[in-house]
């Protein structure tokens, strides 16, 4: 029997429910143990009450995971309201969060609902919670304590709303608590449930499925003419070797650029095609994937390969199409040193 709290991952990387039907947000790839564990935890907490703190590097898919939690929660029929915390500036904070009545202040020419009221019965996703100012943190904590919304200009005790808060950050909030830039009481309230999304370099099993999915999505936007684009095995091996500091977002950008500007013979995208787009567009490719060359080549191409592979000489040599000796020689000549 399939445990409904754990994701089942299909061969193409889609997550499916216990009955074999697609999840509300099909498209999250979890072939890697690290991401499968994160999705499993997300399923467990989705039906439970309390705020959620999602941590992870930029581009790992925190917003997508928040959408999944909302779609699997009791709030699924309510709204999902998204707000970047950097937009909650102190001067208009009260109006943004709680709304206002016409005439509450000079520029209040009409009634306005705040984002907390808009999210009533649903979920409020607060992106980049670490960017909240001290005043914003205090106001948010006050709402989380009593769940009451009072519009600016209103008399009385306000109205209670039911809102689940999901906050995201790519920063170390605990470090910000220690240095005093983030309230400890708010931090502990927000992390009732905490999930970490691993970076793509720790889930290399997912790269192939993601790359093929992005390639299919790109081709779906193009006129239905010509061969179907596909990656060969060496191209996938190259993509899987890279550290992807920009994570899934960077991978999608690379796939789109390879599809748009690379040369694909009979629709086949090779390692050389990927390497040329990644390093120096228009540069002469290797004679064959993985071939070694005594030609020192281009400084930018070799240095780019070193950077992308975290200075792994063997990987850099393979994807930059040169020998390890060539790279060592160039490092010595140019004075390049591992960071």
Q: Does residue 294 lie within any of the structural domains?
A: yes
Q: Which residues contact 142 (CB under 8 A, 6 or more apart)?
A: none
- Supply the CATH number for residue 205's domain: 1.10.8.60
Residue 142, strand partner residues: none
- Tell whether 123 and 192 lie within a shared domain: yes
Q: Give whichever of 68-72, 102-106, 155-159, 284-288 has the largest mean pLDDT.
A: 68-72
Q: Is the pLDDT score of 85 beyond 80? A: yes
- Tell whether 51 and 192 lie within a shared domain: yes
- For residue 291, the model assigns a pLDDT of 31
Distance CA 308, CA 316 (A): 8
Q: Does residue 339 lie within any of the structural domains?
A: no
Q: What is the pLDDT of residues 47-57, one digit of tens each?
A: 999 999 999 99
- For residue 171, the model assigns a pLDDT of 92
Distance CA 284, CA 320 (A): 11
Q: Does residue 280 lie within any of the structural domains?
A: yes
- For residue 26, the model assigns a pLDDT of 57
Query: pLDDT band for position 107 (50/70/90)?
Result: low
pTM: 0.75
Distance CA 263, CA 268 (A): 9
Q: Is the pLDDT score of 209 beyond 80? A: yes
Q: Are 251 and 200 in contact (CB under 8 A)?
A: yes
Provide, for the chain, the percentages of residues in helix, strand and coil under a 3-state DSSP scheme, each rounded to the nearest 5.
Answer: 45, 15, 45
Query: pLDDT band for position 197 (50/70/90)?
Result: very high
How many folded domains does the chain comprise? 3
| Beta-sheet pairing, 193-196 with 52-55 | parallel
What is the phi/psi pair of residue 233, to 5°? -60, -40
Q: Does residue 70 lie within any of the structural domains?
A: yes
- The residue written with tokens 């029997």 in the block is 1
Q: What is the pLDDT of residues 222-264, one digit of tens each?
A: 887 778 899 999 899 889 888 888 899 999 999 998 998 887 8
pLDDT mean over 160-185: 94
Which residue, 148, 167, 198, sits at the end of a domain? 198
- Tell whether 74 and 214 lie within a shared domain: no
Q: Which of 113, 111, 112, 136 is nearest to 126 (CA)?
A: 136
- Tell whether 214 and 176 lie within a shared domain: no
| Cα distances (Å, whole numbers) of residue 145 to 50, 141, 182, 246, 297 | 12, 6, 17, 36, 62
Helical (H) or strand (E) element with 80: strand 80-84
- Tell whether 181 and 315 lie within a shared domain: no
Domain with 264, as residue range(s), is 201-334
- Tell whether 259 and 166 lie within a shared domain: no
């Amino acid at each position: 029997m399939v445990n409904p709290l754990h994701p089942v991952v299909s061969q193409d990387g889609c997550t499916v429910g216990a009955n074999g039907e697609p999840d509300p947000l099909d498209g999250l790839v979890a072939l890697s143990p690290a991401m499968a564990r994160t999705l499993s935890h997300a399923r467990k907490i989705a039906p439970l009450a309390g705020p959620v703190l999602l941590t992870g590097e930029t581009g790992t898919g925190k917003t997508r995971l928040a959408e999944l939690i909302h779609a699997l929660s009791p709030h699924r029929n309510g709204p999902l309201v998204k707000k970047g915390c950097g937009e909650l500036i102190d001067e208009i904070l009260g109006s943004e969060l709680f709304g206002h009545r016409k005439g509450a202040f000079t520029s209040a020419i009409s009634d306005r609902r705040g984002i907390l009221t808009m999210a009533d019965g649903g979920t409020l996703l607060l992106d980049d919670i670490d960017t909240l100012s001290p005043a914003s943190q205090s106001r948010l904590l006050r709402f989380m304590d009593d769940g009451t919304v009072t519009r600016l200009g209103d008399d009385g005790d306000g109205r209670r709303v039911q809102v689940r808060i999901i906050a995201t950050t790519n920063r170390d909030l605990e470090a910000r608590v220690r240095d005093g830039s983030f309230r400890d009481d708010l931090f502990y309230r927000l992390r009732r449930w905490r999930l970490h999304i691993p970076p793509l370099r720790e889930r290399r099993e997912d790269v192939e499925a993601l790359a093929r999915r992005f390639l299919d999505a790109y081709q779906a936007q193009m006129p239905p003419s010509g061969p179907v684009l596909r990656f060969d095995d060496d191209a996938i091996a190259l993509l899987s070797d890279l550290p992807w500091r920009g994570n899934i977002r960077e991978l999608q950008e690379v796939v789109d650029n390879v599809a748009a500007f690379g040369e694909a013979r009979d629709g086949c995208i090779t390692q050389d095609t990927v390497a040329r787009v990644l390093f120096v567009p228009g540069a002469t490719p290797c004679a064959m994937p993985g071939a070694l060359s005594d030609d020192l080549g281009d400084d930018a191409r070799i240095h780019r390969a070193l950077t992308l592979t975290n200075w792994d000489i063997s990987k850099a040599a393979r994807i930059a199409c040169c020998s390890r000796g060539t790279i060592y020689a160039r490092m010595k000549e140019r004075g390049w040193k591992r960071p």
